[in-house]
Structure 1
Amino acid sequence: MPTLRRDSFTLLRELMRWRVALVLSVLIFVLMIVLGTVNTRLDLPDTAQLAWIVLAIAGACIAALLTLPRHLGGTIFFVSIALLLVGVMAFGLHHGRPMQHWAYIFPPVIVFLVRSDRALVAMIAFGVYAAAMIAPLIPAIDVIRFASGYGLLVCFMFTYALLQERAAVMLRYHSDHDALSNCLNRRTFNEAVEQLAGPRGTAEACTFLLIDIDYFKAINDLHGHLAGDRIITQVAAELGRALAPGTPLFRYGGEEFSVLLLDRGLDDGRAVAEELRAAIADADFQGVPVTISIGVAHWRRGEGSITATLDRADRALYEAKRSGRNRVVADAPLA
């Protein structure tokens, strides 16, 4: 399906990452004040300097998180921490202080930035880099101990990131799809329409198809509701096969479906609708006669609202059913 919207799943993920980033940046800010003060009193100017540098970065991240869009602010925070950790390793080598305890922060940071396979590569590369930075400063056995502990952490973090990605895919699929028909659901349709009409929408036009299974109540009454559910599932499957790959098919409600044809004209919409109608009329529904009626309406940015276009598509669908069903009616756009 083409990306029509910043859907609720994406917005929730961005919100959670933003909250985590804000909490961590505040904690780091407070911790660096403590560490900077303690190191100054212990006459450790180099590590005190590092604490003040980290304090400034944390403060800048807090400002970014509070002023920039959430997805951008969260990304800036985690990128800043990852780059900071790279710098800390070099800082330690320059000042003759092993900083391997900072390295364990890198794996959980990087999994917030990139997908699991890229995170694994980044974690391994950083581990090799960190080991090289501390090798001149500590005994070889301690480098081996660090590498062993860091390697185990990488294994656990990669496994967690992989499981989280798989769970997110499943959650997103079931959140976006109707359980009976496996079509995209009405909530997803509403989000797609909202994105289409909004300032971030990239499509300049869209043709809407509203599809209704003819005499569906009679099918339920004659063959039972289980047969009715089977018909809905099979109709959805037949429609999906008849549509071009990537064309979104929604279960609009009950026995109704909807198709969005982005940047396609009314004539294209009528032709696609006729193909869908013929596909259902020719399909075998195990002895149950099944046909569909389709209403078609076209929307163009700046020429009326999508709500009005959907109303016209609904009226066209009603006209198709009133005129005998198993047909396509296209509503002319507003003058």
Structure 2
Amino acid sequence: MSTTRPSYAETRETLRWRVALVLVALMSTLMLALGLLNTSLGLTDTARLAWIVFTLNATSLLGLLWLPRRAGTMAFFGVILGLIVFAIGFGWWHERPLHYWGFLFPVVVVFLLPAWRAMVAMLVFGLFVCGVAMLQIAPIDVVRFASVYGLMVCFVTTYALLEERAGVMLREVGDRDGLTGCFNRRRFNEAMARRVAPRAEATRLGVLLADVDHFKAINDQRGHLEGDGVLMAVASTLQRALQSEAERGRAKLYRYGGEEFAVLVSGRDPAQLGLLAEALRSAIAAGGDGLGPGEVTISVGVAAWWQGSEAPEAALQRADEALYEAKRGGRNRVVVAPG
């Protein structure tokens, strides 16, 4: 099976991890400078806070390097949030107003929580900081802090919502074939890769490979635009024929490449897979979506396997061989691979 490029989610996690590494370096440098400066000025309390932050920040670096990237990144930003809350409480205990640390909270919490949950956390934290600040600074200064903090919450939440929406759109674009709207080959490869490890409960799986018969002749005789129209009609018909299985989460349709489509199915034995493949073949042969009856046909190869008992690549190879057997047998037919 071909090597795939990292998905959007994988790329996002890698970038978050790299951002965390950069922040560790910057914060360590800053806290080191503040610790030395406050020590030289005789500000023992704030110097102690700087050294505490420096130490925990260095510990976070070990987590980023040793833990899996996602876990290490989430742990790092969790530690930063904890430090922010700690700094506010530290300032209250030592009668030093450190409410300005609160401005860091919104830009950190969006790395940990979805946008709406992050907004709730920001508001709750803002109330906490304002309550502490009321005991330390003049009311007008609390109002000024709350006003700026509220604006920051609005901007950060808006950004987070846009980022989430952009992420959904990017994943959709990255996962779908641009012509047919089916899931693409990269998504198919990822789905097959997830079916390598055995599961606690035996899981029956199946793969169907469907190829449009005589597609080269369609392109040669009608032109590539007509060929694209045929592929879109075939994809639409297959999606409709699979709708019941798809709604139950038992089947997904992919554009495997060129004029070839793939269907991954779970919870079906070889006989049931054969019936499903026959239903797909019949749906295409019956026409619809701009195709006349018998105008376009497909050949289908089917292979079934138990997750963990056979490599997905081996099952895919058997389905491919069954497909070519259907082609050699006259096309417009279904062949179920033995095994």
Q: Distance in 1 between matches of 2:216 and 2:122?
A: 58
Aligned CA distance change for structure 1 residues 107 and 189 (closer, same or farther; 3 Å): same
Q: Show the counterpart of 1:322.
A: 328
Q: Show the counterpart of 2:258.
A: 254
Letter in 1 for 2:151: L
Aligned CA distance change for structure 1 residues 190 and 222 (closer, same or farther; 3 Å): same
Q: Show the counterpart of 1:273.
A: 277
Q: Show the counterpart of 1:290.
A: 296
Deviations 1:18-73 (A, max 9, x none): 01111111211221111112212222221112111111110110000011111100
Q: Show the counterpart of 1:35.
A: 34
252-261 or 285-294: bigger deviation: 285-294
Q: Show the counterpart of 1:84.
A: 83
Query: 1:287 deviation in Å?
Result: 4.8
Q: Distance in 1 between matches of 2:290 and 2:29?
A: 69
Letter in 2 for 1:270: G
CA contact (8 A) 1:6 1:195 kept: no
Q: Distance in 2 between matches of 1:224 and 1:311?
A: 31
Query: 1:176 deviation in Å?
Result: 1.3
Aligned CA distance change for structure 1 residues 307 and 126 (closer, same or farther; 3 Å): same
Letter in 2 for 1:299: W
CA contact (8 A) 2:319 2:336 kept: yes
CA contact (8 A) 1:295 1:330 kept: yes
Count of residue pairs the alignment pairs up = 329
| SS, match of residue 188 in structure 2 | helix
Aligned CA distance change for structure 1 residues 200 and 179 (closer, same or farther; 3 Å): farther
Q: Distance in 2 between matches of 1:56 and 1:204?
A: 48
TM-score normalised by the chain length of structure 2? 0.91
Letter in 2 for 1:73: G
Q: Show the counterpart of 2:171.
A: 172
- Correspondences of 1:164-203 after superposition (within 5 Å): 164-198=163-197
Q: Distance in 1 between matches of 2:135 and 2:52?
A: 24
**Over aligned residue pairs, what C-alpha RMSD do you find?**
2.1
Deviations 1:258-305 (A, max 9, x none): 011134332232122122122222231435412211100123344343
| SS, match of residue 195 in structure 2 | helix
Q: Distance in 2 between matches of 1:85 and 1:67?
A: 24
Deviations 1:220-251 (A, max 9, x none): 23332212111111211221122222422110
Deviations 1:109-155 (A, max 9, x none): 01111111111111111111111111111111100100111111111
Letter in 2 for 1:105: L
| SS, match of residue 205 in structure 2 | strand
CA contact (8 A) 2:237 2:288 kept: no
Segments of 5+ residues of structure 1 without an aligned counterpart are: none
CA contact (8 A) 1:239 1:279 kept: yes
158-167 or 70-79: bigger deviation: 158-167
Q: Show the counterpart of 2:64.
A: 65
Q: Show the counterpart of 2:135.
A: 136
* 2:239 maps to 1:235: no
Q: Distance in 1 between matches of 2:7 and 2:322?
A: 31
Aligned CA distance change for structure 1 residues 120 and 174 (closer, same or farther; 3 Å): same
Q: Show the counterpart of 2:103.
A: 104
Same amino acid, percent of matched pairs? 50
Deviations 1:137-193 (A, max 9, x none): 111110010011111111111111111111111111111111001111112212222
Q: Show the counterpart of 1:308.
A: 314
CA contact (8 A) 1:294 1:327 kept: yes
Q: Distance in 1 between matches of 2:160 and 2:12?
A: 14
TM-score normalised by the chain length of structure 1? 0.92
